[in-house]
Amino acid sequence: MELKITDKFDLAGAVVSVKPLGEGFINDTFIVKTEEGCTDYILQCKNHIIFPNVPEMMNNIEMVTSHIKSKVKDPIRETFTLAKTIDGALYFKDEDGKFWAMFTFIPNTITYERADSTALAYQGGVGIGRFQSLLADFDKPLVETIKGFHNIRWRFQQWDEAIAQDAAGRVKDLTEEISWIESRREKMLEFWSKVEDGTIPTHVTHNDTKISNILFDAETKDVLCAIDLDTVMSSTSLNDVGDALRSYTNTGAEDDANLDNVSMDIAMYKAYIEGYLSEKKDSLVQSEIDYLAFSGLYITYEQVLRFLMDYIDGDKYYKTKCDGHNLIRTKAQYKLLCSMEEQYDEMTQIVKEIMNK
């Protein structure tokens, strides 16, 4: 099937093989090898359930990557390139209604599944800060590819509906966990209201800033570009920072069943913030600086809510590996949130010290 799909795209060489690439939590991804001396490609079957408007999503990606290409020294390596279909389209829709997209493979590169050192955390901050900076003057409208993504007001609407419906009959056993969400509702809405009224500005944001979405040069280990741009939208730049902090600073796994493993590593936090501010220090407004540390708490809280909401719904959104997996995730992320809250004063002080250097 995948081999037949490649015939629909205008490729530089004859296809030799198509093999699965990665775990495919959202999209199904394949590496397309072509004849020697020609460009290889990445083929993806886009998840049109998660991303209900794939055509507009692909248009977002094309506009953003084209803008980046116009501003970097090496446009072939410093962002990826869409391969169009033989009809000149950005995607191919097959007879089953599935959407396929193709990108050129960037050779001699490396990605990391986990930020396991402060040096790597720093580089991750550089990568996202640079991505945002390259798009600071981007002025075309972007379509919202996932409704209400990182919008806590929308998440609370979903949450309230989930509690009321109690689809899996689990609410009665979750009094403590539900109280975690409710006790912080006002604070989270207070933050988001500042985005809604423009006090905190909006920009082009990546919205999925784990370390595996940063591409590095395999030889120099320098940051090349941000990848996996399906969630590129307009929002506060703080979402990208918070999402990265949730990922980079956790001493345990996102779904760690042993909560003793989970805490926020303040050294990893400092390294990421230093890397990010090395690219963004001079362009942030005061409201963004004021909430830079809080962004980690905000996104981690949102993830606690989303995991618990999915558990209440009967595990319909996130793939699970065992009974109660979403509840395990909820508790692990809540432990991380509490660790961030305990270190929040130090987090804010680190931002002040870096900004004043």
User: Alpha-carbon distance 348 to 64, whole Å?
Assistant: 32
Of 220, 29, 191, 189, give the one whose Cα is nearest residue 123: 220
Q: What is the mean pLDDT of residues 321-337?
A: 97
For the cut 90, the answer to whether the pLDDT of residue 141 exceeds it is yes
The more confident residue out of 19 and 1 is 19
Domain range summary for the chain, segments of one domain joined by +: 2-107, 118-355
Q: Find the mean pLDDT for residues 350-355.
A: 98
Cα separation, 81 vs 77, in Å, equals 9
Residue 328 has a pLDDT of 98
Q: What is the DSSP letter of 49?
A: T
Class of domain 118-355: alpha beta
The predicted structure's pLDDT at residue 49: 85
Ramachandran category for residue 9: left, alpha or beta (phi over 0 → left; psi -120 to 50 → alpha): beta
For 85-115, the pLDDT digits (tens) are: 999 999 999 999 999 999 999 999 999 988 9
Provide the pLDDT confidence category of residue 326 given band limits of 50, 70 and 90: very high
Which of the four pLDDT bands, split at 50, 70 and 90, describes residue 319? confident
Q: Assess whether pLDDT exceeds 80 at residue 321.
A: yes
> What pLDDT does residue 96 have?
92
Confidence (pTM): 0.92
Q: Flag whether pLDDT at 72 surpasses 60.
A: yes
In CATH, what is the architecture of 2-107?
2-Layer Sandwich (3.30)
Residues 6+ apart with CB under 8 A from 191: 152, 291, 294, 298
Q: For position 240, what pLDDT does the model report?
A: 97
Alpha-carbon distance of 128 to 123, in angstroms, equals 9
Average pLDDT, the chain: 95
pLDDT at 3 over 70: no
Residue 25: what pLDDT? 62
- The predicted structure's pLDDT at residue 294: 98
19-43 confidence digits (pLDDT tens): 998 765 678 899 999 998 889 999 9
Among 1-5, 83-87, 135-139, 178-182, name the one with the lowest average pLDDT. 1-5
> pLDDT tens digits for 247-281?
999 999 999 999 999 999 999 999 999 999 999 99
